[in-house]
Amino acid sequence: MDKLTFAEIDNTVVNTLEPPARMYWTIVALLFAGVLVGAACWAYQIAVGIGAGGQNNPVNWGTYLINFVFWVGIAHSGTLISAILYLLRAGWRNPIARAAETMTVFAVLTAGLFPFIHLGRVWMVYYMLPVPNQRTLWPNFQSPLMFDVVAISTYLTVSVLFWYTGLVPDLAIVRDRASGVRKKIFRVLSLGWTGKYEQWRHYSRAYLLFAALATPLVISVHSVVSWDFALGVVPGWHTTIFAPYFVAGAIHSGLAMVLTLMIPLRRIFHYERIITDTVLERVAQTIVFTGLIVGFAYATEQFIAWYSQNSVEMETFRFRAFGTYALEFWIMVICNSLVPLLFFFKRFRTSIFWLFGISILINIGMWYERFVIIIGSVAHDFLPHAWGYYRPTWVEYGIMIGSFCLFFFLFFLFVKHLPSVSMTEMKEKIHEEGAHAG
Protein backbone atom coordinates (compact mmCIF):
# COMPACT_ATOMS: atom_id res chain seq x y z
CA MET A 1 0.00 0.00 0.00
CA ASP A 2 1.30 3.52 -0.85
CA LYS A 3 2.46 5.65 2.03
CA LEU A 4 0.16 8.45 3.12
CA THR A 5 1.29 11.92 2.15
CA PHE A 6 0.65 15.20 3.95
CA ALA A 7 -1.52 16.34 1.05
CA GLU A 8 -3.60 13.18 1.12
CA ILE A 9 -4.24 13.57 4.84
CA ASP A 10 -5.37 17.18 4.35
CA ASN A 11 -7.55 16.30 1.37
CA THR A 12 -9.21 13.35 3.13
CA VAL A 13 -9.99 15.29 6.28
CA VAL A 14 -10.98 18.59 4.64
CA ASN A 15 -13.28 16.70 2.23
CA THR A 16 -15.31 15.51 5.22
CA LEU A 17 -16.31 19.14 5.79
CA GLU A 18 -18.10 19.40 2.45
CA PRO A 19 -21.80 20.29 2.74
CA PRO A 20 -23.58 17.18 4.04
CA ALA A 21 -26.30 15.16 2.32
CA ARG A 22 -29.96 15.30 3.35
CA MET A 23 -29.57 12.00 5.23
CA TYR A 24 -27.15 13.68 7.62
CA TRP A 25 -29.60 16.43 8.50
CA THR A 26 -32.37 13.84 8.92
CA ILE A 27 -30.27 12.00 11.51
CA VAL A 28 -29.34 15.28 13.22
CA ALA A 29 -33.04 16.22 13.35
CA LEU A 30 -33.96 12.83 14.85
CA LEU A 31 -31.25 13.17 17.48
CA PHE A 32 -32.42 16.67 18.27
CA ALA A 33 -35.94 15.33 18.70
CA GLY A 34 -34.49 12.86 21.21
CA VAL A 35 -32.82 15.75 23.03
CA LEU A 36 -36.20 17.51 23.17
CA VAL A 37 -37.78 14.37 24.63
CA GLY A 38 -35.18 14.43 27.40
CA ALA A 39 -35.66 18.17 27.95
CA ALA A 40 -39.45 17.73 28.13
CA CYS A 41 -39.09 14.96 30.72
CA TRP A 42 -36.77 17.14 32.78
CA ALA A 43 -39.18 20.07 32.50
CA TYR A 44 -41.98 17.78 33.69
CA GLN A 45 -39.87 16.68 36.64
CA ILE A 46 -39.09 20.30 37.56
CA ALA A 47 -42.82 21.11 37.38
CA VAL A 48 -44.08 18.21 39.50
CA GLY A 49 -41.02 17.53 41.65
CA ILE A 50 -38.23 14.97 41.93
CA GLY A 51 -40.83 12.32 42.83
CA ALA A 52 -41.52 12.02 39.09
CA GLY A 53 -38.43 9.80 39.07
CA GLY A 54 -38.34 6.39 40.71
CA GLN A 55 -35.85 7.37 43.43
CA ASN A 56 -37.28 6.87 46.87
CA ASN A 57 -36.15 5.48 50.21
CA PRO A 58 -33.92 3.54 50.43
CA VAL A 59 -32.75 4.01 46.81
CA ASN A 60 -32.32 7.75 46.52
CA TRP A 61 -29.63 7.55 43.84
CA GLY A 62 -31.07 6.09 40.65
CA THR A 63 -30.46 6.41 36.92
CA TYR A 64 -29.38 10.04 37.25
CA LEU A 65 -26.31 9.01 39.21
CA ILE A 66 -25.82 5.90 37.05
CA ASN A 67 -25.79 8.03 33.92
CA PHE A 68 -23.57 10.62 35.56
CA VAL A 69 -20.91 8.01 36.39
CA PHE A 70 -21.39 6.32 32.99
CA TRP A 71 -20.76 9.52 31.01
CA VAL A 72 -17.83 10.62 33.17
CA GLY A 73 -16.37 7.18 32.55
CA ILE A 74 -16.86 7.49 28.79
CA ALA A 75 -14.95 10.75 28.94
CA HIS A 76 -11.90 9.20 30.52
CA SER A 77 -10.49 7.18 27.69
CA GLY A 78 -10.49 10.33 25.53
CA THR A 79 -7.96 11.79 27.92
CA LEU A 80 -6.12 8.47 28.11
CA ILE A 81 -5.72 8.55 24.34
CA SER A 82 -5.03 12.26 23.97
CA ALA A 83 -2.78 12.79 27.01
CA ILE A 84 -1.45 9.58 28.55
CA LEU A 85 -0.70 7.81 25.26
CA TYR A 86 0.76 11.09 23.95
CA LEU A 87 3.26 11.10 26.83
CA LEU A 88 4.01 7.44 26.14
CA ARG A 89 4.57 8.28 22.45
CA ALA A 90 2.13 5.62 21.26
CA GLY A 91 1.85 6.48 17.57
CA TRP A 92 -1.36 4.51 17.04
CA ARG A 93 -3.28 7.05 19.10
CA ASN A 94 -2.75 9.88 16.59
CA PRO A 95 -5.49 8.97 14.08
CA ILE A 96 -8.16 8.68 16.80
CA ALA A 97 -6.95 11.30 19.28
CA ARG A 98 -9.14 14.13 18.00
CA ALA A 99 -12.36 12.12 17.93
CA ALA A 100 -11.57 10.67 21.36
CA GLU A 101 -10.89 14.13 22.80
CA THR A 102 -14.14 15.38 21.34
CA MET A 103 -15.89 12.40 22.87
CA THR A 104 -14.41 13.47 26.22
CA VAL A 105 -15.72 17.02 25.94
CA PHE A 106 -19.25 15.98 24.95
CA ALA A 107 -19.38 13.15 27.48
CA VAL A 108 -18.37 15.47 30.34
CA LEU A 109 -20.94 18.01 29.16
CA THR A 110 -23.61 15.31 29.17
CA ALA A 111 -22.45 13.98 32.55
CA GLY A 112 -22.46 17.50 33.98
CA LEU A 113 -26.20 17.77 33.37
CA PHE A 114 -27.08 14.91 35.70
CA PRO A 115 -26.20 16.52 39.03
CA PHE A 116 -28.48 19.38 37.96
CA ILE A 117 -31.25 16.95 37.03
CA HIS A 118 -30.75 14.98 40.24
CA LEU A 119 -31.02 18.14 42.34
CA GLY A 120 -34.73 18.35 41.59
CA ARG A 121 -34.93 22.01 42.52
CA VAL A 122 -32.30 22.93 39.96
CA TRP A 123 -32.33 26.63 40.83
CA MET A 124 -30.68 25.67 44.14
CA VAL A 125 -27.50 24.80 42.26
CA TYR A 126 -25.76 27.89 43.56
CA TYR A 127 -25.51 26.16 46.94
CA MET A 128 -22.64 24.22 45.36
CA LEU A 129 -20.78 27.29 44.14
CA PRO A 130 -18.18 28.90 46.39
CA VAL A 131 -20.34 31.93 47.14
CA PRO A 132 -22.31 32.59 50.33
CA ASN A 133 -26.06 32.09 49.98
CA GLN A 134 -28.73 34.32 51.51
CA ARG A 135 -28.01 32.85 54.94
CA THR A 136 -24.27 33.50 54.45
CA LEU A 137 -23.63 29.77 54.40
CA TRP A 138 -20.68 28.63 52.31
CA PRO A 139 -20.25 25.22 50.68
CA ASN A 140 -18.62 22.57 52.84
CA PHE A 141 -15.49 21.36 51.07
CA GLN A 142 -15.26 18.35 53.38
CA SER A 143 -18.05 16.72 51.40
CA PRO A 144 -17.13 14.37 48.54
CA LEU A 145 -19.99 15.93 46.57
CA MET A 146 -18.13 19.24 46.71
CA PHE A 147 -14.93 17.47 45.63
CA ASP A 148 -16.97 16.28 42.68
CA VAL A 149 -18.14 19.76 41.73
CA VAL A 150 -14.56 21.02 41.77
CA ALA A 151 -13.16 17.97 39.95
CA ILE A 152 -15.77 17.77 37.19
CA SER A 153 -15.77 21.50 36.45
CA THR A 154 -11.94 21.43 36.34
CA TYR A 155 -12.05 18.41 34.05
CA LEU A 156 -14.54 20.04 31.69
CA THR A 157 -12.53 23.28 31.53
CA VAL A 158 -9.21 21.50 30.98
CA SER A 159 -10.68 19.12 28.39
CA VAL A 160 -12.19 21.97 26.37
CA LEU A 161 -8.95 23.99 26.44
CA PHE A 162 -6.81 20.95 25.56
CA TRP A 163 -9.18 20.04 22.72
CA TYR A 164 -9.23 23.56 21.31
CA THR A 165 -5.45 23.96 21.56
CA GLY A 166 -5.02 20.77 19.56
CA LEU A 167 -7.48 22.05 16.96
CA VAL A 168 -5.75 25.37 16.23
CA PRO A 169 -3.21 24.20 13.57
CA ASP A 170 -5.92 22.17 11.83
CA LEU A 171 -8.34 25.10 11.85
CA ALA A 172 -5.65 27.10 10.04
CA ILE A 173 -5.41 24.43 7.34
CA VAL A 174 -9.18 24.58 6.82
CA ARG A 175 -8.98 28.41 6.78
CA ASP A 176 -6.34 28.34 4.04
CA ARG A 177 -8.54 26.14 1.86
CA ALA A 178 -11.88 27.82 2.58
CA SER A 179 -13.52 30.81 0.96
CA GLY A 180 -16.24 33.33 1.78
CA VAL A 181 -17.94 33.29 5.16
CA ARG A 182 -16.36 29.96 6.06
CA LYS A 183 -12.91 31.44 5.62
CA LYS A 184 -13.83 34.33 7.91
CA ILE A 185 -15.13 31.97 10.59
CA PHE A 186 -12.07 29.74 10.46
CA ARG A 187 -9.82 32.80 10.38
CA VAL A 188 -11.23 33.85 13.74
CA LEU A 189 -11.21 30.31 15.15
CA SER A 190 -7.59 29.62 14.13
CA LEU A 191 -6.44 32.78 15.98
CA GLY A 192 -4.05 33.74 13.16
CA TRP A 193 -2.00 30.55 13.34
CA THR A 194 0.61 30.35 10.56
CA GLY A 195 2.80 27.42 11.59
CA LYS A 196 5.82 29.66 12.05
CA TYR A 197 8.52 27.84 14.02
CA GLU A 198 8.44 30.56 16.64
CA GLN A 199 4.80 29.50 17.20
CA TRP A 200 5.61 25.77 17.16
CA ARG A 201 8.29 26.38 19.82
CA HIS A 202 5.71 27.59 22.34
CA TYR A 203 2.88 25.40 21.11
CA SER A 204 4.80 22.12 21.47
CA ARG A 205 5.88 23.01 24.97
CA ALA A 206 2.39 24.05 26.02
CA TYR A 207 0.84 20.92 24.49
CA LEU A 208 3.28 18.69 26.36
CA LEU A 209 2.45 20.47 29.62
CA PHE A 210 -1.26 20.12 28.87
CA ALA A 211 -0.79 16.35 28.50
CA ALA A 212 1.30 16.20 31.66
CA LEU A 213 -1.40 18.04 33.63
CA ALA A 214 -4.33 16.16 32.12
CA THR A 215 -2.83 12.80 33.11
CA PRO A 216 -3.03 13.16 36.92
CA LEU A 217 -6.28 15.09 36.50
CA VAL A 218 -8.06 12.25 34.73
CA ILE A 219 -6.99 9.80 37.42
CA SER A 220 -8.06 12.20 40.18
CA VAL A 221 -11.45 12.92 38.63
CA HIS A 222 -12.74 9.38 38.53
CA SER A 223 -11.16 8.70 41.92
CA VAL A 224 -13.17 11.65 43.25
CA VAL A 225 -16.30 10.26 41.56
CA SER A 226 -15.65 6.93 43.27
CA TRP A 227 -15.34 8.68 46.64
CA ASP A 228 -18.91 9.94 46.25
CA PHE A 229 -19.64 6.32 47.11
CA ALA A 230 -16.60 5.07 48.99
CA LEU A 231 -16.79 7.80 51.65
CA GLY A 232 -20.35 6.75 52.49
CA VAL A 233 -20.67 4.04 55.13
CA VAL A 234 -22.70 1.74 52.91
CA PRO A 235 -21.87 -1.94 52.39
CA GLY A 236 -20.44 -2.50 48.92
CA TRP A 237 -19.31 1.12 48.67
CA HIS A 238 -17.08 1.72 51.68
CA THR A 239 -13.92 0.20 50.27
CA THR A 240 -10.44 1.36 49.30
CA ILE A 241 -10.50 -0.46 45.96
CA PHE A 242 -13.04 2.00 44.55
CA ALA A 243 -10.68 4.61 43.12
CA PRO A 244 -8.53 2.30 40.94
CA TYR A 245 -11.59 0.17 40.18
CA PHE A 246 -13.51 3.20 38.88
CA VAL A 247 -10.56 4.55 36.90
CA ALA A 248 -9.99 1.20 35.17
CA GLY A 249 -13.72 0.80 34.52
CA ALA A 250 -13.91 4.30 33.11
CA ILE A 251 -11.12 3.67 30.65
CA HIS A 252 -12.65 0.29 29.76
CA SER A 253 -16.01 1.84 28.88
CA GLY A 254 -14.41 4.79 27.11
CA LEU A 255 -12.28 2.60 24.88
CA ALA A 256 -15.38 0.64 23.94
CA MET A 257 -17.13 3.91 23.05
CA VAL A 258 -14.09 4.90 20.96
CA LEU A 259 -14.59 1.74 18.89
CA THR A 260 -18.35 2.34 18.70
CA LEU A 261 -17.71 5.82 17.28
CA MET A 262 -14.61 5.19 15.17
CA ILE A 263 -15.88 2.21 13.20
CA PRO A 264 -18.83 4.04 11.57
CA LEU A 265 -16.77 7.24 11.31
CA ARG A 266 -14.02 5.62 9.24
CA ARG A 267 -16.56 3.86 7.05
CA ILE A 268 -18.64 6.98 6.35
CA PHE A 269 -15.68 9.34 5.82
CA HIS A 270 -13.43 6.81 4.04
CA TYR A 271 -10.79 7.09 6.74
CA GLU A 272 -9.60 3.50 6.18
CA ARG A 273 -6.07 4.64 5.28
CA ILE A 274 -5.89 6.88 8.36
CA ILE A 275 -7.79 4.90 11.02
CA THR A 276 -6.29 1.61 9.93
CA ASP A 277 -7.18 -1.91 11.07
CA THR A 278 -4.01 -1.83 13.16
CA VAL A 279 -5.28 1.20 15.11
CA LEU A 280 -8.54 -0.59 15.92
CA GLU A 281 -6.59 -3.69 16.87
CA ARG A 282 -4.48 -1.67 19.31
CA VAL A 283 -7.66 -0.31 20.95
CA ALA A 284 -8.95 -3.89 21.23
CA GLN A 285 -5.71 -5.02 22.85
CA THR A 286 -5.97 -2.20 25.39
CA ILE A 287 -9.57 -3.28 26.08
CA VAL A 288 -8.29 -6.77 26.93
CA PHE A 289 -5.96 -5.16 29.48
CA THR A 290 -8.63 -2.95 31.06
CA GLY A 291 -11.14 -5.82 30.96
CA LEU A 292 -8.75 -7.98 32.96
CA ILE A 293 -8.33 -5.20 35.55
CA VAL A 294 -12.10 -4.80 35.81
CA GLY A 295 -12.59 -8.58 36.12
CA PHE A 296 -9.90 -8.68 38.80
CA ALA A 297 -11.69 -5.87 40.68
CA TYR A 298 -15.01 -7.79 40.58
CA ALA A 299 -13.29 -10.90 41.94
CA THR A 300 -11.44 -8.90 44.61
CA GLU A 301 -14.67 -7.31 45.85
CA GLN A 302 -16.29 -10.72 46.24
CA PHE A 303 -13.18 -12.20 47.86
CA ILE A 304 -12.76 -9.35 50.36
CA ALA A 305 -16.45 -9.56 51.34
CA TRP A 306 -15.95 -13.26 52.14
CA TYR A 307 -12.51 -12.78 53.68
CA SER A 308 -13.78 -10.06 56.03
CA GLN A 309 -16.48 -12.41 57.33
CA ASN A 310 -18.54 -9.27 57.87
CA SER A 311 -22.11 -10.50 57.63
CA VAL A 312 -23.45 -7.26 56.07
CA GLU A 313 -20.75 -7.18 53.38
CA MET A 314 -21.23 -10.87 52.65
CA GLU A 315 -24.98 -10.42 52.33
CA THR A 316 -24.53 -7.43 50.03
CA PHE A 317 -22.35 -9.37 47.62
CA ARG A 318 -24.58 -12.45 47.80
CA PHE A 319 -27.49 -10.19 46.98
CA ARG A 320 -25.65 -8.70 44.01
CA ALA A 321 -24.93 -12.09 42.47
CA PHE A 322 -28.13 -13.95 43.36
CA GLY A 323 -30.67 -11.35 44.52
CA THR A 324 -33.21 -9.17 42.74
CA TYR A 325 -30.59 -7.60 40.50
CA ALA A 326 -28.74 -10.84 39.67
CA LEU A 327 -29.51 -10.47 35.96
CA GLU A 328 -27.90 -7.03 35.91
CA PHE A 329 -24.90 -8.39 37.83
CA TRP A 330 -24.29 -11.22 35.38
CA ILE A 331 -24.74 -8.90 32.39
CA MET A 332 -22.03 -6.77 34.00
CA VAL A 333 -19.65 -9.68 34.60
CA ILE A 334 -20.12 -11.30 31.21
CA CYS A 335 -20.04 -8.13 29.09
CA ASN A 336 -17.17 -6.40 30.89
CA SER A 337 -14.79 -9.13 31.88
CA LEU A 338 -15.56 -12.24 29.81
CA VAL A 339 -16.63 -10.97 26.38
CA PRO A 340 -13.54 -8.70 25.99
CA LEU A 341 -11.36 -11.79 26.38
CA LEU A 342 -12.42 -12.72 22.85
CA PHE A 343 -9.99 -10.00 21.77
CA PHE A 344 -7.19 -12.33 22.82
CA PHE A 345 -7.88 -14.01 19.49
CA LYS A 346 -6.66 -12.15 16.43
CA ARG A 347 -9.72 -13.28 14.49
CA PHE A 348 -12.00 -11.22 16.73
CA ARG A 349 -9.86 -8.13 17.09
CA THR A 350 -9.29 -7.84 13.34
CA SER A 351 -12.95 -8.28 12.40
CA ILE A 352 -14.92 -5.05 12.14
CA PHE A 353 -18.13 -6.93 12.91
CA TRP A 354 -16.77 -8.34 16.19
CA LEU A 355 -14.99 -5.14 17.16
CA PHE A 356 -18.20 -3.16 16.80
CA GLY A 357 -20.42 -5.81 18.40
CA ILE A 358 -18.16 -6.33 21.40
CA SER A 359 -17.79 -2.58 21.90
CA ILE A 360 -21.58 -2.27 22.14
CA LEU A 361 -21.74 -5.13 24.63
CA ILE A 362 -19.08 -3.49 26.81
CA ASN A 363 -21.00 -0.19 26.73
CA ILE A 364 -24.10 -2.03 27.93
CA GLY A 365 -22.11 -3.94 30.53
CA MET A 366 -20.51 -0.79 31.89
CA TRP A 367 -23.88 0.92 32.25
CA TYR A 368 -25.07 -2.08 34.24
CA GLU A 369 -21.89 -2.00 36.35
CA ARG A 370 -22.93 1.41 37.64
CA PHE A 371 -26.47 0.10 38.13
CA VAL A 372 -25.21 -2.83 40.23
CA ILE A 373 -22.88 -0.66 42.32
CA ILE A 374 -25.31 2.17 42.96
CA ILE A 375 -28.65 0.43 43.25
CA GLY A 376 -27.45 -2.92 44.57
CA SER A 377 -25.86 -1.41 47.67
CA VAL A 378 -28.48 1.06 48.86
CA ALA A 379 -31.41 -1.22 48.07
CA HIS A 380 -30.06 -3.82 50.46
CA ASP A 381 -27.88 -2.32 53.17
CA PHE A 382 -27.83 -2.78 56.94
CA LEU A 383 -31.38 -3.18 58.19
CA PRO A 384 -33.66 -5.75 56.56
CA HIS A 385 -36.78 -3.72 57.34
CA ALA A 386 -35.29 -0.83 55.36
CA TRP A 387 -34.56 -2.88 52.23
CA GLY A 388 -36.37 -1.79 49.13
CA TYR A 389 -36.39 -1.98 45.37
CA TYR A 390 -35.98 0.51 42.65
CA ARG A 391 -37.36 0.77 39.16
CA PRO A 392 -36.78 3.74 36.85
CA THR A 393 -39.90 5.64 35.73
CA TRP A 394 -40.72 6.81 32.20
CA VAL A 395 -39.37 10.25 33.14
CA GLU A 396 -35.97 8.75 33.89
CA TYR A 397 -36.01 6.69 30.69
CA GLY A 398 -36.90 9.85 28.74
CA ILE A 399 -34.03 11.78 30.30
CA MET A 400 -31.65 8.90 29.66
CA ILE A 401 -32.67 8.72 26.00
CA GLY A 402 -32.24 12.49 25.86
CA SER A 403 -28.70 12.24 27.22
CA PHE A 404 -27.65 9.66 24.63
CA CYS A 405 -29.25 11.71 21.88
CA LEU A 406 -27.50 14.86 23.14
CA PHE A 407 -24.11 13.15 23.05
CA PHE A 408 -24.57 11.79 19.53
CA PHE A 409 -26.22 15.02 18.34
CA LEU A 410 -23.15 17.02 19.40
CA PHE A 411 -20.81 14.43 17.91
CA PHE A 412 -22.69 14.42 14.61
CA LEU A 413 -22.48 18.21 14.42
CA PHE A 414 -18.77 18.07 15.20
CA VAL A 415 -17.76 15.55 12.55
CA LYS A 416 -19.21 17.61 9.69
CA HIS A 417 -18.07 21.03 10.86
CA LEU A 418 -14.61 20.56 12.38
CA PRO A 419 -11.70 18.26 11.45
CA SER A 420 -12.52 14.91 13.06
CA VAL A 421 -8.98 13.60 12.59
CA SER A 422 -5.99 15.60 13.75
CA MET A 423 -4.20 16.34 10.49
CA THR A 424 -1.18 17.69 12.34
CA GLU A 425 -0.78 14.65 14.57
CA MET A 426 -1.25 12.29 11.62
CA LYS A 427 1.53 14.12 9.80
CA GLU A 428 3.76 13.88 12.84
CA LYS A 429 3.09 10.16 12.92
CA ILE A 430 4.02 9.51 9.31
CA HIS A 431 6.98 11.89 9.62
CA GLU A 432 8.29 9.89 12.59
CA GLU A 433 7.68 6.60 10.79
CA GLY A 434 9.59 7.95 7.79
CA ALA A 435 12.45 9.08 10.03
CA HIS A 436 12.62 5.68 11.72
CA ALA A 437 12.51 3.93 8.36
CA GLY A 438 15.55 5.99 7.45
Partner 1 sequence: MRDNQTGVTAFFKEDQKAAEAVRQVRDSGWTLADVYGPIPSEAISAALSLKKSPVGWFTLAGGILGFFSGYLLAMFTAGRWDLIVSGKPVLAVIPFFIVGFEFTVLFSVFGNVVGMILSMRLPAYRDLPGYKTPGSGEDFTVVVACGESEQSDVQAFFSERGARIAQDQ
Residues that bind partner 1 (CB under 8 A): 5-7, 10, 130, 132, 136-143, 146-147, 150-151, 154, 157-158, 161-162, 165, 169, 172-173, 176-177, 187-188, 191-206, 209-210, 213, 216-217, 220, 224, 423-424, 427-428, 431
Q: 183 or 318, CB closer to partner 1?
A: 183
Which of left, alpha, beta for 389 (phi over 0: left; psi -120 to 50: alpha)?
beta
Nearer residue to partner 1 within complex by CB, 44 or 164? 164
In single-letter form, the type of residue at position 62 comes to G
Q: Which of these, 80, 78, 35, lies nearest to 407 by C-alpha position?
A: 35
CB-count exposure of residue 387 (10 Å: 0-12, 13-18, 19+): middle
Cβ proximity to partner 1, 158 vs 333, nearer residue = 158
Quote the crossing angle between the two packed helices 63-79 and 242-268, to the nearest 10°.
Answer: 70
Comparison of 24 and 200: residue with beta carbon closer to partner 1: 200
CB of 320 to partner 1, least distance (A): 27
Q: In the complex with partner 1, which residue's Cβ is closer, 173 or 284?
A: 173
Q: Is the dihedral of CA 91, 273, 411, 260 positive or negative?
A: negative
Q: State in angstroms the smallest separation of the CB of 341 from partner 1.
A: 35
Closest distance between partner 1 and the C-beta of residue 313, in Å? 21
Nearer to partner 1, 29 or 433 (CB): 433
For helices 311-322 and 352-378, give the axis angle rounded to 10 degrees.
Answer: 140
The SS3 of residue 260 is helix
Nearest approach, Cβ of residue 16 and partner 1 (Å):
15
**Minimum CB distance to partner 1 smaller for 138 or for 306:** 138
CA separation for the pair 186, 200 (Å, rounded): 19
What is the nearest approach in angstroms of partner 1 to the Cβ of residue 369? 24
Task: Name the residue among 92, 104, 412 with its Cα closest to residue 250.
Answer: 104
Neighbours of 431 (CB within 10 A): 11
438: three-class secondary structure by DSSP: coil
**Minimum distance of partner 1 from residue 176's CB (angstroms):** 4
- Measured from the CB atom, the residue of 53 and 139 that comes closer to partner 1 is 139
* 273 vs 427, beta carbon nearer partner 1: 427
Buried b (16+ CB within 10 A) or exposed e, 101-125: bbbbbbbbbbbbbbbebbbbeeeee
Q: How far is CA 210 from CA 134, 204, 213, in A?
A: 38, 10, 5
Rounded to the nearest whole angstrom, what is the least distance from the CB of residue 221 to partner 1 in the complex?
Answer: 8
DSSP label at 133? -
Q: What minimum distance in Å lies between the beta carbon of 243 and partner 1? A: 12
Minimum distance from CB of 200 to partner 1 (Å)? 4
Q: What is residue 59's DSSP assignment? A: B
